[in-house]
Structure 1
Amino acid sequence: MFVFEPSRLTYDSLLQTLQIVPPTPFAEQDFLNMFFQKTYKPIPLVYNLVLAMLWRHPENVELDKVNVVHYCAAGSKPWRYTGKEANMDREDIKIGRSFREVIDHGLPEPAISYIPAPSAA
């Protein structure tokens, strides 16, 4: 996620810096990480769970609170889940299974079909 307030000064500085920095493997992502390194503020895992966290630091992940999963690892795309993956008990595979169930069967109907609003009267 990238959020900033538009600024002509920042824009000019970005362009100047871009002229002197060598290309990197992840292009704009690497460049922006370098340029904004002193103002970087990570967001909580519940809003950007990178699957590698499940493998490297599972003690820091509360899956029941996660709202957004970032499928950036090779082979982690849930729409490629077949149900025959190795390690079917791994948490990332379970997430893929849930994703596949939604694709195949759709989302369950909500308990109410409308959101009640207070009366204007």
Structure 2
Amino acid sequence: DFLNMYFQNMYKPIPLVYNLALAMLWRHQENVDLDIVKFLHYCAAREDIKKLVSKWWEIYNDESLDFRLGERRKNAESRSELQQITANALRGEMAKP
């Protein structure tokens, strides 16, 4: 609150819908409508938060949950085949079936 008062005439604050700090849910829950929030950030070093973040990264990095992985592999294979055909053409060779 002190920083808000200090910078009161120097900047226009970002609305909570785009800049909701997790602490607002703990301290000013009545000012938060979670149905319209687009971005939530947190500044907490508590163990439960660290575990939550760790679990999030574990899920995020799990390739089995990546629905585009197969598509990316196909594209990579197609690029590889195209590169081979191009290389053969530049060497004057015919692409073998």
Which category of TM-score, normalised to the shorter sequence, fits these structures?
A: 0.3 to 0.5
Q: TM-score normalized by structure 2?
A: 0.43
Larger relative contact order (Cα-Cα within 8 Å, sequence gap ≥ 6): 2
Relative to total residues, which structure has the larger helix share, 1 or 2?
2
Q: TM-score, normalised by structure 1?
A: 0.36
Larger Rg computed on CA atoms? 2
